[in-house]
Every structure is written in C-alpha cells, then in structure tokens.
Amino acid sequence: MKPFFKNITSVTAAAVMALCSFNAGFYAGADDEIPDKCVVHYDLSGEGIIIPEDKDGNPQSIEDIETDPNSSVYVTNVIPEREGYIFSCWTADNIAAYPAGTVMRVDTENVDLHPVWIDKEDENFHKVTFRVEKNGEIDKEAEKYVPAQNALKGRYILIPSWKFKQEGYDQKGWTDGVHEFDVETYILVGDEDIILRPNLKKIYKLRYSAGDYEGIVGASFQEYELAESFPTSLQAADRFSRIGYEIKNWHCITDGKDYEPNAVFIMPGSDVLIEPNWSPLRYTVVFSADKNNVKVPGYTGTAITAPECPITKEGYTFGGWQYGDETVQAGEEYTIKGAAPGLGIRFTAIWNEAGSDVTTTTVTDPVTTTTTTVTETTTTTVTETTTTSAPSETTTTTSAPVSDIAYGDSNCDEKVELADAILLMQSIANPDKYGVEGSDAKHLTRQGANNGDVDKSVVGITSGDALMIQEFLLKKINTLVPAEK
C-alpha cells in the first residue's frame, strides 16, 4: 500500500485524537483511578448564543449531565441559535462530532461540549474521500461502495462500516495514516480535503492452554484469530476442567498480567498465550460406616487425618477406610486429590470378619459385601457384589465371563465419552444410588461394570478405570482394550 496522504487539517487531527482517546478510555485498566461520577457540560459561553423557545412558545434549557464513568448518555435535542450561523453539532475538541439526539460514550473524565457552527455565507465545499487501493492502485470498483462526500466546514460525516480486508489482516474503521476512526462515528470537516483509507490490522493468534497439569478433563487447548487492537471478551471460568481445581482467573503469559474471566482484552501486535490460574477446590470428605458419617473438610492438595470409626460391629474388626483403590487407616494422613467434576469424595468402612482374611466393605444397611472369586474354567477374575440381610449371611457369587465387552462404555450407550468416566466415579462415591445394585434409573449395570473395568492392574471398578477412560479421550493412550497375555 502507498504511504498515506497527510492532507487533513490540524483541527481535524485534534478532533480525531479526541475520538481515539474517547474510545480507548472505555477499556481503562483495573489499576486506573476512576472517579465516582463524570459530568458532561454544555459550554454556551460563546458570543451571541441563545436558547430559543420551543414550538409552543415555552422556554427551553440545556442542562449538564451527571453520569457514571464508562457509560453512555444522549446528547441534548435542544438546538441553540446564533445570528448568521447554522448549528451543526456538538464537539469536545473541535473535531469529534456529536449530533443532537445521538448517543455519546463517556469514559472516566468530565467532558466539555461546545456547539459547532456553519457560517451561512460560506460556499467552499471540501471533499472527503474514502480511498481503497489494491496492489498500489486505486480500486475504483470498491470505492463505489464508499463514495466521496462534499461538505462545508463545520459539517460532520459518518464513518462508513464497509470493510475491505486483505489476507492476514482485518479492518478496524478508517485512518488518515496517523489517527484512527471507528465505524459509525462522526468527524467534523475542516477547511481542507480529507483522504481516509481502510485501517488494516494484522491478525494474530489468541491461544488458551489449560497448562501442563494432571487431571485435565476434556479440551486442553483453544485457538482463535484476532486482529491487533481489536477487543474481545476473555473466556469464562468453565472453559477448561481439572479434577480438584477451578479457574480463579486468567494469566496472560505474553504480558504477565492477570485478567478476570469474561474481562475485555485488547489484542496486542503479537500472538498471545493465556493460561488459567488454578485454585484448589474445598471438599468435605465423607467417611461413612453404615449410616454413620464423619465429615472432614480440606482443599485439593492438602492432607487430612482419617478419623476413628464411629461404630463397632460384633464379630468384625475395623479394617480402615476405602475410596476407590486407596485404603487409609484411622489416624493416617490422606492427601486430597480431588474428584471428577460434580462428584465428591466418600470413603467407606471396611471390616475384617473375626478369624478371616476376607475384607467386606460396608456402606449402608443392608450390608453390601464385596468378594473376589476365581473360577476354575477361566483366568478372568470377576468381582461380584451381593446384598444380604446381615453380615453373617454374606454369600459369594461367581459371574460367568462376558464375551462381548465394549471396553470403556460403562453406560452401555455404544460410545465412549466423558459420561462413562463420570458414571464410574459416581458408582464409587455413591454405590447405593449408582452402583450395580443402585437405586438410580441410570445406575451402573453388570455389563457396564465389565465394560468399564479397563484398568487390569486392579480387579473391579476403581478410580483408575475412570482415569484411563479420560486419558483415552485425551488421546494420551491409544486403546482401552487390555493387551493379551
């Protein structure tokens, strides 16, 4: 593109500068000192200015406006008069135009508006050209969409909204080569011709990364294209998901600053990388023995002490607390690792029958007993849960091998997705509702348990199965089908 022509008047340049400052003020930083109120003052001190009566002969007035910072106000509809002149509009700097009745944006400072007048005897028109060039040549076909305008000094023109993009660029209004004009704003015409060109801004990449952390669930990277100086709203706090954590705010690696979710961000002249500042969640860890619960609060990554069991069972000794594939004894420390989104952490008491090495996991009455049995005809280990009327009546059942296993499809909907991992975690955290014998209509079925048992390092459903499904969805592992031995 050829160099911009510099034939805009000094008055016009001043007005444009005011317009640019006005627009930028809307995005004032959090550290800027912002007043409680701003005042829009109409300066009517010029010679010969009067406020006429309305059409019914009633007196009129033009009052100052008090408003909040970074807000919008309507410019007065009352038109002042001055002998020998025609009222045009209002301006703060003799250039940025605000016609009567239009909306004006107020940033964080007071605004003094004064009227702009057109001399009734002035007959000198000035040309405002919207120049569009391609490969250094004037694109006459394109300029048909933005025809030149002729106006007297003091008149205002509307910046058109037409865009003429080039590859790798986006257009943000128009420019004289020094100052920028947003579309649908007004500028005054001075006593010289004006040439404006598309204000082209180079497009850069705005990247979001969840960071190199354990426990990321779902998407971990997003990328967008945005032109330099264009505003955008940052992503909400639920853009990424991480077990045991929530997004507190966003950290921009590029400029080193922190931003609130959904905050306005102005794209700089470079690619940008943004990562979340993760904040640990607060959990109430439940230690459950039958219907007796002990609740211990703590945050992800911190250690809590497992409590003493609140009950005793005749004929049994307390064997500790179990959550998934992890067991802790009373008085031992447990470091909270977090749970899948929407789930809590619930340990259940395990019991050793007197004189036996068999451990039973007790949830609620009636007692649910978990045993491990190996059949004589297969090398497959099957875990079976049987509900009995009392601990002394515990039975052991052997399941036949399942021939058609859809590994990972724990909810049996013929596809592997995050819902499968969540169902497994729900069945662990709340077996009464979501376990194989659960009360919920969408509880884990026996077929679903076989499908979901993908972690063959441990027998039965554990948090490791849910983790493997998540790793499969994140493409960290290629298959859920166990390797043949």
Is the pLDDT at 128 greater than 60? The verdict is yes
Instruction: Identify the weakest region by mean pLDDT among 15-29, 251-265, 393-407.
Output: 15-29
Backbone angles phi, psi at 369, to 5 degrees: -110, 130
DSSP string for 213-247 = -TTEES--EEEEEEETT-EEEPPPTTSSEETTEEE
Rounded Cα distance, 174 and 180, in Å: 6
Lookup: tokens for 81: 């008069």
Instruction: Identify the weakest region by mean pLDDT among 69-83, 317-331, 357-371, 459-473.
Output: 357-371
Dihedral, CA atoms, 64, 68, 73, 79, nearest 10 degrees?
A: 10
Rounded Cα distance, 385 and 363, in Å: 12
Rounded Cα distance, 247 and 275, in Å: 10
pLDDT score for 484: 67
Compute the C-alpha angle 347/350/356, nearest 5°: 165
Lookup: tokens for 450: 């076989």
Rounded Cα distance, 358 and 8, in Å: 91
Please tell me whether residue 208 adopts helix, strand or coil conformation: strand
Lookup: tokens for 35: 């007043």
Rg (CA), the chain: 36
pLDDT score for 265: 96
Is the pLDDT at 401 greater than 50? The verdict is no
Is the pLDDT at 178 greater than 90? The verdict is no
Provide mean pLDDT across the span 383-406: 39
Instruction: Identify the weakest region by mean pLDDT among 19-23, 301-305, 467-471.
Output: 19-23
The helix or strand, by DSSP H or E, that contains position 426, with its residue range, turns out to be helix 418-429
Cross-strand pairs, 374: 381
Q: What is the pLDDT of residues 71-97, one digit of tens each?
A: 999 999 999 999 999 999 999 988 889
Rounded Cα distance, 96 and 87, in Å: 15
Mean pLDDT of the chain: 83
Handedness of CA 101, 107, 111, 113 (dihedral sign): negative
Rounded Cα distance, 336 and 348, in Å: 16
pLDDT score for 429: 80
Confidence of residue 32 (pLDDT cuts 50, 70, 90): low
Is the pLDDT at 450 greater than 60? The verdict is yes
Please measure the distance between the N-terminal and C-terminal CA atoms of the chain and give it in whole angstroms: 68
Compute the C-alpha angle 217/218/219, nearest 5°: 125
**DSSP label at 391?**
G
Please tell me the pTM assigned to this model: 0.58
Dihedral, CA atoms, 131, 135, 138, 142, nearest 10 degrees?
A: -70
pLDDT score for 176: 84
Lookup: tokens for 166: 């080039």
> For residues 89 and 99, is the Cβ–Cβ distance under 8 A?
yes
Confidence of residue 294 (pLDDT cuts 50, 70, 90): very high
Confidence of residue 356 (pLDDT cuts 50, 70, 90): low
Compute the C-alpha angle 245/299/461, nearest 5°: 70
What is the phi-psi region of residue 338: left when phi exceeds 0, alpha when psi lies from -120 to 50, beta otherwise? left
pLDDT score for 235: 95
